[in-house]
Amino acid sequence: MASTATRDAFRIEGYVIVRELIEPALAGALRLSAEQSGADTHAYEKRDADGRKSRVTLWYTPGDDVFGQLSSLDRVVNTMSDCLGGDAKFFHAKLMQKSAYEGGAWEWHQDYGYWYDDGFLTDAMGSCYIALDAATRVNGCLQVIPGSHRYGRLRHGAVGEQVGADSDRVAMLAERDGIVHCELAPGDAVFFHASLLHASAANTSPDSRWGLITSFHREDNPSISDDPRFGPKTTPARTYSELVSASQHFSTSRDFL
Ligand SMILES: O=C(O)CCC(=O)C(=O)O
C-alpha cells in the first residue's frame, strides 16, 4: 500500500518519485539481460523534431519472463492503484532506449493525448518509469510540469514523428509552474498521471539511458476500442522475491508493437 504522502503527491503534483523501488543491483542485472537477450532488436524508432532517433520496444501482454514480472510487480500495481484510486489494470509496457550521444528527445505531451485515440474514455490512467540506467539531466531524464494533469487534455499535433502538446500552452504552464527534472538512480521509479505534461531531452552524454515504462488504466476505465491489445488483461501480481529469483532472461517472443 502506498503511503498517504505518495498518493497525495501523485494527486496534487501528478507524479511521485519512489527511490529504490527495486534494488540497484537488480536494475543493473535487468539492464544487462535486456541488452544481451536482444530486446532492442524488436524496437521501433521515433524521430524527434531535430531528427534524432529514440528506440522503443513495446508489448501489450506482460508474459512470464523477468520483464513480465517486473511490469506486474505487486508494489508497482498496488502503488498505481492507490494513486489512481481504484484497481490498476495493465495496458502495456515498453523498454525506452536512449543511446549514448544519439538518443533523441521526447517532445512535450500528455500520454492521454495518445491514449484517447486508443479508446479510453477518461484519463484515469498512469505510468511507472523504472530506471535501469541512471537518468540524469545530461542523458535525457524525464521532465515534468508539476500539476499540469489538472488542465485536461490539451490539443496535440505532429512534432517530428511524434505527437506533441500545444506548444504555446506548454510554454505558458512551464513558465508558471516550472519544470522538474526527474533524476533517478538505477532502481528508482517515477509514477506519473496520464495527463501530466512530460518530455525528455536528447542524450548528449556518453551514457545510455534505458528504462522500463509500464502503463495502466483504472479498472472502471477500460478501452472501448475493439482492438484486443487495448483490452483488460488478467495479470497475476508478482512478488519481489519471485522477481529476484526469476531467470534474468528477456523473452523475445511476445506481442511486440
Ligand atoms: O522515455 C522518456 O524519456 C519519455 C517517454 C515518454 O514520454 C512516454 O513514453 O510517454
Tens of pLDDT along 5-64?
899 999 999 999 999 999 999 999 889 888 887 777 778 888 888 888 888 999 898 877
Residue 236 inside a domain? The answer is no
Residue 190 inside a domain? The answer is yes
Q: How far apart are CA 148 and CA 196, in angstroms?
A: 5
Residue 20 inside a domain? The answer is yes
Task: Please report where in the chains the cell 524525464 appears, as a residue.
Answer: 142
In tens, the pLDDT along 224-239 reads: 999 989 987 877 788 8
Ligand 1 site: residues with CB under 6 angstroms?
96, 106, 111, 142, 198, 200, 213
Q: pTM for the full model?
A: 0.94
Residue 53 inside a domain? The answer is yes
The average confidence (pLDDT) of the chain is 90
Report pLDDT for 45: 86
Residue 70 inside a domain? The answer is yes
Residue 240 inside a domain? The answer is no
CATH of the domain at 64: 2.60.120.620
Q: How far is the CA of 127 from the centre of ligand 1 (A)?
A: 10
pLDDT above 90: residue 256: no
Count other Cβ atoms within 10 Å, centred on residue 234: 6
Q: How far is the CA of 38 from the centre of ligand 1 (A)?
A: 21
Residue 54 inside a domain? The answer is yes
Which domain covers residue 144, as residue numbers?
4-219
In tens, the pLDDT along 60-79 reads: 988 777 888 888 899 999 99
pLDDT above 80: residue 176: yes
Nearest CA to ligand 1 atom 5: 106
CA dist 250 → 8, 38, 92, 246, 254 (Å): 34, 8, 16, 11, 10
Residue 237 inside a domain? The answer is no
Q: Which atom of ligand 1 is nearest to the CA of 96?
A: 1
Give the residue, out of 106, 129, 209, with the most ligand 1 atoms within 8 A of its beta carbon, to mutate for a pocket test.
106
Q: How many domains does the chain have?
A: 1
